[in-house]
Amino acid sequence: MAKAAIDAYFVCGGKYHDIDYARLQLLGLLGEHERVRTRIAEDYSDIAAIEASDFLVTYTVDIVPGEATAQRLRDYVAGGKRWLALHGTNSILRYVKGRGWEAPRDARTFMETLGSQFVAHPPIEPYRVEVTQPSHPLVAGIEPFDASDELYLMELHPPFETLLHTRWHGEAKGFAERDWSADEPRPVMYLKQVGAGEVLYFTLGHARSHYDMRPMMDEYPTVERGSWPVPAFTELLRRSLRWAAGLD
């Protein structure tokens, strides 16, 4: 007897990133599992379709649901579902002249469900990602690796279990909250229990091409692929998707 299909809901959309590139890469990885059938959207507006799915995957930047939808997302996970949240899912971005990029705290339920809110990042340059829990199946056997990615500095909403981390302190230029002088671990991947379900948050995955900063600029000077070419990143994504689909 054939095994049942597994229904994925994939939200992929947002600003200032090469969403097309990320969507293509993640659909390729989801497509490695013939049981997984994927429905795609740019936001959370069809919450009934999300609730009908077996698991949720999100790669968004500055895409945040309203409070009623955020409550239903929390209930969806708390009821026993898994949510793989990638890169900028936890971001709200507002540019204020003279201050830089701000992170308004006006989506509390959504951010508490995710376990964090993006606040700032230093200029993109390589940094070392360390394995916090080497015995955990999601990261077991992964060696420390370098990522040329956005290093997320976040307001945290614990408790959660950190699986990967980095260390950084300094000034996040261009952001309103730029003083990050405390030398402390910065989560890169963590698991957060929400009722009977879980959120797996993975901050890596930056991508930007020439036309992703419109209307701020017509053409961005470089193409950035962040961690996508790094074999350890691809392996971690594969494991994370298997986890989300219940195939672990």
Question: What was the pLDDT predicted at 232?
Answer: 98
Amino acid at 58: T
- Which pLDDT score is estimated for 1? 66
CB atoms within 10 A of CB 37: 13
- Calpha distance 101→121 (Å, rounded): 10
pLDDT of residue 3: 87
Closest CA to 153 of 203, 198, 225: 203
Contact assessment for residue 143 and residue 129, using Cβ atoms and an 8 Å cutoff: no
Contact predicate 208/122, CB 8 Å: no
Residues 159 and 167: their CA atoms lie apart, in Å, by 19
Over the stretch 60-94, which tens digit does the pLDDT of each residue have?
A: 999 999 999 999 999 999 999 999 999 999 999 99
Whole-prediction pTM value? Answer: 0.98
Give dist(CA 148, CA 25) in Å, integer. Answer: 18
Tokens for 94?
């507002």
Tokens of 11: 């939200």
pLDDT digits (tens, 9 = 90+) for 7-65: 999 999 999 999 999 999 999 999 999 999 999 999 999 999 999 999 999 999 999 99
| 3-class SS letters over the chain | CCCCCEEEEEEEEECCCCHHHHHHHHHHHHCCCCCEEEEEECCCCCHHHHHHCCEEEEEEECCCCCHHHHHHHHHHHHCCCEEEEEHHHHCCCEEECCCEEECCCCCHHHHHHHCEEEEECCCCEEEEEEECCCCCCCCCCCCCEEEEECCCEEEECCCCEEEEEEEEEEECCCECCCEEEEEEEEEEEEEEEECCEEEEEECCCCCECCCCCCCCCCCCCCCECCCCCCHHHHHHHHHHHHHHCCCC
Statement: residue 96 has pLDDT above 70 = yes
pLDDT score at 184? 95
d(Cα 175, Cα 213) in Å, to the nearest integer?
A: 16
- Give residue 2's pLDDT: 73
Percentage with pLDDT > 70 across the chain: 100
Scored b (16 or more CB within 10 A) or e, 219-228 reads ebeeebbbbb
Mean residue pLDDT across the chain: 97
pLDDT at position 143 is 98
**Residue 231 above 80 pLDDT?**
yes
Residue-wise pLDDT tens digits, 159-177: 999 999 999 999 999 999 9
The model's pLDDT over 238-248, given as tens digits with 9 standing for 90+, comes to 999 999 999 98
CATH topology of domain 6-244: Rossmann fold (3.40.50)
Instruction: Answer yes or no: are the C-beta atoms of 244 and 10 closer than 8 Å.
Output: no
Under 8 Å between Cβ of 143 and 149: no
Q: Cα separation of 118 and 82, whole Å?
A: 21
